[in-house]
Amino acid sequence: MGKLNVNLCGIELSNPVIPASGTFGYGYEFAELYDINELGTFSFKGTTKDPRFGNPTPRIAECTAGMINAVGLQNPGVEKVISEELPKLKACFHKPVMANVSGFSVEDYAYTCEKLDKEEQVGWLEVNVSCPNVHGGGMSFGTQPEAAAEVTRAVKAVTTKPVIIKLSPNVTDIVSIAKACEDAGADGISLINTLLGMRINLRTRKPVIANKMGGFSGSAIFPVAVRMVYQVANAVKIPVVGMGGVSSAEDVIEMMIAGATAVEVGAANLVNPYICRDIIRDLPEVMAQYHINSLEEIIGGVK
């Protein structure tokens, strides 16, 4: 059997498969379905300094080969995540977890990351500077190198654990932003977040979601994600976590050949809650099919 383990920013993972933030709650919801300790880790629901109700409904819509969402970072705020969600998570998940953080100012990001950095079970801080579904925050920090670097520096100044900056594909030059984050001290880069999309109801002639536009995800965006992972992995010396339309063991291997050290699975969790478990179980057979002895050996192996 081939070796599935990888090392992400100094922390060993039993396999590279990670459910993406916003598609896996705080883990314990999925623990009712299967043993989530089979996962490499997971990125829990995006957390902000203060509680957020999120955007008005409707805020999710299906579309060809994917979906559009504008949930708007609904979460109870960092204090309640620490006091209520993490204890429930700890009862069912016995590995380091990835804490996903969003903010509306540099100070917000630093405050929330500093709080979560102190939590024993948090292994990595995935700092989301790329959410397209909120106004006045999120993606506004991820579309310019200087702004992304400013957030990176502020978070690194108050944390001790690996900081992975999650980038937006809704930019002209993803590489310059990734390099700015690396220069500012980022320990890793994760990409891509959702593309900005929109659908219109032909009967009402109104957008199908209340926010008008939202994040487009699903298998349709996979080629874009592979391209950006490849570009960034070849430009930086820090690990890249790839995501965007991943829904099979073959997709995971393709992402890793493009340069990803680990791979997140997002929208597919909403279609099949067992998808990450199934991908992990499928990996040895697919590795054997392509004569792969170790996943670590194929990282960035595109010819």
d(CA 205, CA 199): 10
Percentage of residues in the chain with pLDDT exceeding 70?
A: 97
Report whether pLDDT(165) > 60.
Answer: yes
- Annotation says 131 is catalytic: yes
How many CB atoms are closer than 10 A to CB 291?
7
Helices (H) then strands (E): counts for the chain = 11, 15
Instruction: Tell me the whole-structure pTM to 2 decimals.
Output: 0.95
Percentage of residues in the chain with pLDDT exceeding 90?
A: 85
Catalytic member of 9, 63, 113, 131: 131
Superfamily of domain 6-298: Aldolase class I (3.20.20.70)
Q: With cut-offs at 50, 70 and 90, classify the pLDDT of residue 140.
A: low
Q: Which pLDDT score, from 0 to 100, does residue 138 have?
A: 47
Report whether pLDDT(137) > 70.
Answer: no
Q: Which pLDDT score, from 0 to 100, does residue 270 have?
A: 93
Q: With cut-offs at 50, 70 and 90, classify the pLDDT of residue 144.
A: confident
Report the half-sphere exposure of 18 (CA within 13 A, side-chain side): 35
Range scoring the smallest mean pLDDT among 32-36, 131-135, 180-184, 284-288: 131-135
CB 300 within 8 A of CB 257: yes
Give the pLDDT confidence of 238-297 residue by residue, as tens digits: 999 999 999 999 999 999 999 999 999 999 999 999 999 999 999 999 999 999 999 999
Q: Domain ranges in the chain?
A: 6-298
Identify the burial level of 116 via C-beta atoms within 10 angstroms of its C-beta, where 0-12 means exposed, 13-18 middle and 19 or more buried: buried
